[in-house]
Structure 1
Amino acid sequence: MSLTRRRFVQGTAALPLAAAIPSFSKAELSLGSATLTTVSDGSLVLPGSFIFEPMPKDELAPILTEFDLSEERLTPECNLALFRDGTNTVLFDVGSGPDFMPSAGTIVDSLEALDLAPEDITHVIFTHAHPDHIWGLLDEFDDPLFVEARYMMGRGEWDYWWNPETVNTIGDARAAFAVGAKRRMEAIEDAVELFDAGDEVLPGIAAVSTPGHTPGHMAFEVRQGSEAVLIAGDAIGNHHVAFRKPGWESGADQDAPKAAETRKMLFDRLVSEDMALIGFHLPQGGIGRVDTNGDGYRFVEQG
C-alpha cells in the first residue's frame, strides 16, 4: 500500500511532538588539523510507516524490540556536519528551518552554542534537497540565512528538483517537498555551484555518488592525510533496520531498490577501510563507525 500525502500528513499530525526542549549537544572528532562537529537541528516526528511499511512485519518485529522502537512513531535526530580547517567553515545541509516541523529547525541556536553565527559559514554543501536538509536555507522572512556562504549541490540533484515535471511525478506524499525545494533553490539560483560525483568540491572534500534516497543524493569523503570520514547524509538513514537489514527496501527512499544497493556499497566500504561515519539521522550526534553483526552491521557510536 502506497504512502499518500494525506496519510503522511494525517499520521504526522496525530503524533505528539518530540522533546519540547531541543538539544544543542554535539559530537566532534579531529581530522588532521581540521575538526568535524555535528550540530543539532532538533529532531523529526514521523509515523513508523514512513520507513517500515514495505518491510516484512514478522522479521521487523525483533528489530523493533532490540532497539526499543515503536512501530507507530519515530523521533530521529537531525545532525548537521560542520567542517572547520582554519580557512573554511563548511556546513553540510542547512536543516529544516521554521516551516517544516516544530521539533526541528534549531540550527541557529546550535551554531550559537559554538559561538558561530550563520554569516560565519563560508560554504554550504548539500547532500540532497529533502525538507529537513534544505528548507533551513531561508529564515522566517524568506531571506537566505547563510548570507556569506557559497552554495554547492550535485548537478543531478539540482536538475531533478529544478525540473518543473518533478512535482507531477514524485507522488502525492512528496509533492510539497518538490515545491519547497524549488522555492529555496530559486533563492540561490545565481549563487550555487554545481559539481559531479568524484569531484573535489573543496580541498580534502570529495563527492561520492549515493543515489536512491533521492535521484542525485551525494555523500562526501572528507580526508586529511591518511584519515578520512564519510558524511553519508541520508544514504544510511537510521541506526536500526538500515544496519541490520541493509538490503530491505525503506519507505523513506524515493528509489528503494537503488537505495538498498547504495547502502550495501557504503557498508562494505566503511568496514573494509575502517572509515568513520557521520549520519544525519544517526543517534548521539551521529558520529561513529560500522562493525559487522552476523549478516548485517551495527552502528558503534563514538566513545
Structure 2
Amino acid sequence: MDLTRRHVLTGAAGIAAAPLLPAISAHATAPMADKQAPSFYRYKVGDIQVTVVSDGKNVFKLEDSFITNAKKEEVSAALQKAYMAPDMMTIYFAPLVINTGGKLVVIDTGNGALAKTNSKGANGLFAENFVAAGFDPKNVDMVVISHFHGDHVNGLLTAEGTPAFPNAEVLVPATEWKFWMDDGEMSRAPAGRMQGLFKNNRSIFEASLKKKVTPYEWGKEIAPGLTSVETIGHTPGHTSYVLASGSGKVFIQSDVTNNPNPFASNPGWHAFFDQDGDQAEKTRRRVYDMVVAEKLQVQGFHYPFPGLGHVEKDGNGYRVIPAPWNPSI
C-alpha cells in the first residue's frame, strides 16, 4: 500500500474530528481473595522428591531481650538493611516431606493444630497444606524430629490430642530425648519458657505418644538418603541432616540459624531461644563455613518460604541466596 504524507495527515485529521467513544466500564464480578493458595513447593535431590510445606509465620514486636548480646538499635538497623520492618521480627516455619520412592518421611511437624486457632491462621498450617499437597497422614512411614521446640514437635498431635501420623515411626535425637526426659534436668529448669518446654514435651511424648519413639544417633543414615548431623547449641541435642541421592545433595539445617536476616548476616548474635548461645554460634560458623566451602544447597526451616538456597561469605557474616523458583520438578 502506498502510504503518503497526505494519507497520514488526512487520517490524523479524521481521528481528531471524530467524537470520543463512550467509556466502557469494567465490572469486577469476582470477590477479593482473603487468603493465599496452599503453600507447598517441590524439588528433586537425585531420585528423592522433597516437598517443602509451609506452616505459616509468626510476626511479633522486636524487644530488647530478643537478641541477648546486641542492642535493639543494632538489630533494628540490620532488619531495615534487609528491607524488613525495623521494629518487627518475622519467623517462618517450613517442615519437609521426603518421598524416597519407598518411604514417606516427614521432617519436623510445625506448630500444631491449636496454633492455627491461637494465631488466627497465621501459623499452624502444616496439616492442611500437607493434605493440599496430596499427602495422607496415614501413609507417612516415619516422622523425624530435629529438636524438641514447640514449632517442631507440636504438629505430632491433632487438635484432639491424638497422633497426627498414626502409622508412622517417630524418630528423635538420642541426646535430645535424654535431656528432655530427665527428671533432674526438669527440676533444675528455670521458671518460664524452659519449664514450659519441659511440660509441653512431656505432654506430647509421655502422655500422648506414650514414649513410642525411636532415638537415633548422629552420623547415621536414619532414613533412605538421610544422614543425621550433630549441630548442638540451639538445644542440647539439636540435629541437622544431609539428604543425598545420586549426584544431588542438600544440607537440611533445621535451626542452625533462624531467619537469615539477621542471623546469617550476623552469626555472632545470640537469640534468646538458643539454649547455649556460645555453642550455637560456634556451630553456626562451623556449619556455614562448611556449606560455603562445599557449595552445598541449604534448606532452612526458618528461611523465607520455600527456604532453599546457597550460602556465601559476606564480610564477617554470611549471605543466603535463594534458589530460583522452578516451575518444573
TM-score past 0.5 threshold: yes
CA distance in 2 between partners of 1:23 and 1:220 (Å): 29
CA distance in 1 between partners of 2:68 and 2:282 (Å): 19
List aligned pairs for 1:24-173, cutoff 5 A.
24-49=38-63, 51-57=66-72, 59-100=74-115, 101-102=118-119, 103-171=122-190, 172-173=192-193
Aligned to 2:13: none
Aligned to 1:175: 195
Question: Which amino acid is 1:77 matched to?
Answer: Y
**Deviations 1:15-45 (CA, angstroms, capped at 9, x unpaired):** xxxxx84663223321111111210111123
**Deviations 1:129-162 (CA, angstroms, capped at 9, x unpaired):** 1011101111111111100111101101011111
Question: Which amino acid is 2:175 matched to?
Answer: G
Q: Tell me, yes or no, if structure 1 residue 215 matches structure 2 residue 224.
A: no
Structure 2 gap segments, 5+ residues each: 1-33, 325-329
Conserved 8 A contact 2:92-2:259: no
1:198 to 216, 219, 222: 219
CA distance in 2 between partners of 1:205 and 1:236 (Å): 20
Conserved 8 A contact 1:155-1:216: yes
CA distance in 1 between partners of 2:260 and 2:187 (Å): 32
| Larger Rg over CA atoms | 2
Secondary structure of the corresponding residue to residue 106 of structure 2? strand
CA distance in 1 between partners of 2:211 and 2:200 (Å): 18
Aligned pair count reads 284
CA distance in 1 between partners of 2:73 and 2:238 (Å): 31
List aligned pairs for 1:232-247, cutoff 5 A.
232-247=253-268
Q: Which moved more, 1:266-275 or 1:103-112?
A: 103-112
Aligned to 1:286: 307
Conserved 8 A contact 2:54-2:125: yes
List aligned pairs for 1:263-302, cutoff 5 A.
263-302=284-323
**Deviations 1:84-103 (CA, angstroms, capped at 9, x unpaired):** 12111111011111334422
**Deviations 1:63-111 (CA, angstroms, capped at 9, x unpaired):** 1211233454323211011111211111101111133442221112111
Question: Which amino acid is 1:157 matched to?
Answer: E
TM-score calculated relative to the size of structure 2:
0.81
Tell me the CA shift for residue 282 of structure 1: 0.3
Question: Which amino acid is 2:203 matched to?
Answer: R
Conserved 8 A contact 2:97-2:107: yes
Residues 262 and 23 (structure 1 numbering): CA distance in 2 closer, same or farther, change over 3 Å? farther
Aligned to 1:256: 277
- Aligned identity (percent) is 27
Question: Which amino acid is 2:216 matched to?
Answer: F
CA distance in 2 between partners of 1:52 and 1:70 (Å): 16
Secondary structure of the corresponding residue to residue 76 of structure 1? strand
Q: Which moved more, 1:147-156 or 1:73-82?
A: 73-82
Question: Which amino acid is 1:265 matched to?
Answer: R
CA distance in 2 between partners of 1:48 and 1:163 (Å): 33
TM-score calculated relative to the size of structure 1:
0.87
Question: Which amino acid is 2:261 matched to?
Answer: H
Residues 111 and 57 (structure 1 numbering): CA distance in 2 closer, same or farther, change over 3 Å? closer
Question: Which amino acid is 1:76 matched to?
Answer: I
CA distance in 1 between partners of 2:79 and 2:110 (Å): 27
Tell me the CA shift for residue 59 of structure 1: 3.8
CA distance in 2 between partners of 1:265 and 1:283 (Å): 22
Residues 134 and 156 (structure 1 numbering): CA distance in 2 closer, same or farther, change over 3 Å? same
CA distance in 1 between partners of 2:125 and 2:235 (Å): 24
